[in-house]
Structure 1
Amino acid sequence: MSFIVTTGVTGRLGGRIAALLDAAGVEQRLVSRRAAEHAPRLAHAVAVSADYGDHAAMCGALHGASTVLFVSAAESPDRLDRHRAFVDAAREAGVTHLVYISFHGAAPMATFTLARDHWATEQHIRDSGLPFTFLRDNLYADFLPALAGDDGVIRGPAGQGRVAAVAQDDIAEAAVTVLLRPEEHVGATYDLTGPQALTLDQIAATLSAATGRTITYHPETLQEAYASRERYGAPEWQVEAWVSTYLAIAAGELEGVSDDIPRLTGHPATSLAELLARERG
C-alpha cells in the first residue's frame, strides 16, 4: 500500500500538514529526528525517528513511500549537506514524487543568504531525476508579531521595502492539495504569498491595531543592524541570515504577490489582519 511521508512534523508547518492529511484519511509515515517522542498522535500515521544526514536510517524511513513532503532542516552551517543527503536517500529509496518546502526568490545570488541554500537544494533535486514540486514560501505571517522587541519596536535594515508574508495555514492547505494529487503538479514551482505586500511600518500599524500595544518600526542602518544583534552571541552565519532577511525586503525580493494560494486552496490568501483576528478568537 502506498503512503505519504511527511517530514518536519514536530514543527508548526509540518504538523499542520500532517493533521490535514490525517483528517483526509491519508496513510502517513511521520519522519523527524525526534518523531518517536514528539510527533503528533494521528489515527492514520506511524512515527519514525531519522535524521536527514543519516543515509541508512533515512533510506529505511522513506522506503515504500509514494510521495514525500520535504520540509527543510533546521538552520545550521551544514544544512545544505543534510538536504543533499536526504534527496540522495529519497532517490535510493524509490520515492516517486518529492514536494520541497523552499523559499520565495530562491536563487544563487539571493540577498537572503539562506535562500541561496534553498536554490542549491532545488538544483540537487532537479539533478536527481526525481519528480518534484517546489513550494516557495514567503516569510511566515505567523511570525511577524515576534519581530517586535520588548519595547514594541521592530528593528531591521528593510528601508521602505515590502514583504508579502504568508499564513502557515494557507501553506499547509496548498501543500495538501499537491500531496493528494502530485501527478497534477510535476515540475511546478509555486510562489506562496499573502494577498498584499506590506512595509514594516504597515505591519507595525496592523500589529498595533490588533493587539492594542504600540508597535513601531525603526529602519536600522546596516551598522546598527549588526550592533543590535551582537548581544545574542550567535555565530556569524546566523547573524548574516537575520540581517539579510531585512536586506532582501529592502531590495524588493519579497514583495511579489502571487495567486498560487487561491489557485491551490480555492480561497483567497489570508491577510495579516485576518490572521491576527483569527488568533484572537
Structure 2
Amino acid sequence: MAGDAWPKIAVTGATGRLGGRVARLLAARGVAQRLAVRSPQRAPALGGAVAVRCAYDQPEQVTAALEGVDTVLMVSGSETPDRVEQHKTFIDATAAAGVRRLVYISFFGASPDATFTLARDHWATEEHLRASGLRTVVLRDNFYLDFLPELVEADGVIRGPAGHGRVAAVAQDDIAEAAAAILADPDGHDGATYSLTGPEAITLDEAALIIARRTGRSVTFHDQTVDEAYASRAGQAPDWQLDAWVSTYTAIANGELDGVTDDIPRLTGHRARSLDDLLAAQR
C-alpha cells in the first residue's frame, strides 16, 4: 500500500474532534495525508487524503498503514485502562515502519505525580516516545476550552471540587492550527515540547459568568468537596474513570492548570481564543 506516490504525513484520530480539525486544515493547505483510523469508512472525505486502517493495539496494522510515512500526528487514544499500553504498541510499530518523526498530543503539566490521573498516562507515553529513537514534538494541551460549556449541568450549575483554582483552557481550533503548522513545516520543531494554553487563566466561577453572559442562561459554579464529587458521580462509571473525572477539578484547585504561555501565538501567528471568543463565534 505504500509507495513514493503515497502521502508522507499521517494523521491519526481523523474521525474525532481534534484529529478531524487537523486533517481539514492540512487539506485546505493542499497537503497530502494519510488518515490512519480504526474505521476508514468513517474518515472525512478530503482532497489529497487517503484513509488507511490503523488501530493502536494492532502493531502489524500500524506498520502497514505507516510504511513510507515521514511524520505522524499521534492523537492520544480513547480513555481506557490499557491506554498507555496501546500507546506504547503504536509507538513501537511506528518506529518499526521507518517513520522519522512523531508529533504527540499530550497534556499540560504531564508528570508521573500529576493530580489529573490521565496526565500520568501522558507522561508514561512521553517517556516511551523519548526512548523510541523517533524525532519527537510534544504538544501539551491544557484542558479543552470547548469542554467548559459542557460542564454545565441541566440545572445550569457546574459542579466540582475546583475551588478558586484557575485553568488556562485552550480551544481545539487553536490546538489543531498549531499541530497543522508543525506538520506542514516540521523543520526546527524536533525535540520541542510546547505547552498550549488559552490567553487567560480563569476560575470556574468566572467561566460560569462568561457562559451565562453569552448564552443568556443562569449559570453558576458550585464548589463541591471531593467526597461530594465522588458521591454525586457514584455508579456512573468504573473507579478509574471516576478518579479521572474528579481529578479534572482537583487539578484546577491545586493550581496545576494555571499559567498562560505564548506557544499558540508563536505557532499559529494569532492570539489564542478565549472562552468569550469561542462562545461569540457559536452565536
Q: Deviations over 1:173-202 (max 9, x none)?
A: 100111112121000000000000000000
Q: 1:46 aligns with which of 36, 46, 50?
A: 50
Q: Is the 8 A contact 1:3 1:26 kept in 2?
A: no
Q: TM-score, normalised by structure 2?
A: 0.97
Q: 2:212 aligns with which of 201, 208, 231?
A: 208
Q: Is the 8 A contact 1:31 1:47 kept in 2?
A: yes
1:19 maps to which residue?
24
Q: Deviation above 4 Å: which 4+ runs of structure 1?
A: none
1:143 maps to which residue?
147
- Give secondary structure in 1 for the equivalent of 2:252: helix
Q: Which amino acid aligns with 1:32?
A: V
1:157 maps to which residue?
161
Q: Which amino acid aligns with 1:240?
A: D
Q: Deviations over 1:40-97 (max 9, x none)?
A: 0001011112210001001001111010000000000000000000000110001111
Which residues in structure 2 correspond to 1:115-126 (within 5 Å)?
115-126=119-130
Q: List alignment gaps of at least 5 residues for structure 2.
A: none
Between Structure 1 and Structure 2, how many residues are aligned?
278
1:196 maps to which residue?
200
Identity over aligned pairs, percent:
61
Which residues in structure 2 correspond to 1:8-157 (within 5 Å)?
8-34=13-39, 36-157=40-161
Q: TM-score, normalised by structure 1?
A: 0.98
**Displacement after TM superposition at 1:231 (Å):** 4.5
In 2, the alpha carbon distance for the partners of 1:229 and 1:61 equals: 40
1:176 maps to which residue?
180
Q: Is the 8 A contact 1:70 1:98 kept in 2?
A: yes
2:276 maps to which residue?
273
- The alignment's C-alpha RMSD in Å is 0.8
- Give secondary structure in 2 for the equivalent of 1:198: coil
Q: Deviations over 1:113-160 (max 9, x none)?
A: 000000010000000110000000001111111101100000000010
